[in-house]
């Protein structure tokens, strides 16, 4: 199976609005502090304080959902690792590995005010060229979409799979 091809992708988000993921985020349970009039959130996986941006809030809530609700092992979750796209260096938001420690699901997080449009999907598909995965997810914390790669095509899914699937 090769990577997703952006040229083959013809997608209209409004047509798939009814297929968005239904996510019940757990009640926030984060350590937050303020220093020099800036808010910071403690990232439990990386064990460090991070500037609390809107995108970081979405990322931390989504990780809490993956671990607390979907029961994804925290040891299989990577965040903001560098990947190379041609001559460009980029960072993905969240990467989930399967039980054989192979890249399995990639999640792109955006701030709540950012629309999830074709540009956001194309961004994660470009990342998928360097790090091929079976599932891709885009979220802004309010709306989330997920796709499974099947026979080099993207199929919208309504729920995230369990890690053992």
Query: pTM for the complete prediction?
Result: 0.84
pLDDT for 42-101, tens place per residue?
Answer: 999 999 999 999 999 999 999 999 999 999 999 999 998 877 777 778 888 999 999 999
Q: What burial letters (b/e) apply to 42-79, b meaning 16+ CB within 10 Å? A: ebeeeeeeeebeebbbbbbbbbbbbbeeeebeeebbbb
Q: Per-residue confidence at 1, pLDDT binned at 50, 70, 90? A: very low
Helices (H), the chain: 54-68, 118-130
Q: At the top level of CATH, which class does the domain 21-157 belong to?
A: alpha beta
CA distances from 154 to 6, 147, 157 (A): 11, 6, 9
pLDDT of residue 13: 47
pLDDT at 165 over 60: no
Lowest mean per-residue pLDDT among 56-60, 85-89, 132-136, 144-148: 85-89
pLDDT for 18-51, tens place per residue?
Answer: 567 778 888 888 999 999 999 999 999 999 999 9
d(C-alpha 124, C-alpha 112), whole Å: 17
User: Domain extents for the chain?
Assistant: 21-157
Residue 124 · residue 133 · CB < 8 Å = no
Q: Which of 65-79, 81-95, 118-132, 141-155 has the highest mean pLDDT?
A: 65-79
- Locate tokens 């409004």: which residue? 14
């Amino acid at each position: 199976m090769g990577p997703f091809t952006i040229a083959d992708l013809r997608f209209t988000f409004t047509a798939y609005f009814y297929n968005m993921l239904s996510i019940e985020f757990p009640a926030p349970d984060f350590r937050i502090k303020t220093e020099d009039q800036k808010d910071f959130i403690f990232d439990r996986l990386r064990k460090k304080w991070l500037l609390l941006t809107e995108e970081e809030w979405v990322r931390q809530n989504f990780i809490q959902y993956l671990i607390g609700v979907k029961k994804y092992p925290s040891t299989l979750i990577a965040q903001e690792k560098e990947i190379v796209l041609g001559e460009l260096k980029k960072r993905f938001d969240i990467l989930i590995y399967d039980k054989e420690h192979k890249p399995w699901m990639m999640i792109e997080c955006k701030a709540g005010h950012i629309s999830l449009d074709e540009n956001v999907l194309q961004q994660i598909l470009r990342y998928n060229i360097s790090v091929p995965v079976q599932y891709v997810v885009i979220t802004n914390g309010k709306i989330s979409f997920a796709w499974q790669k099947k026979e080099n095509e993207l199929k919208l899914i309504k729920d995230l799979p369990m890690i053992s699937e």
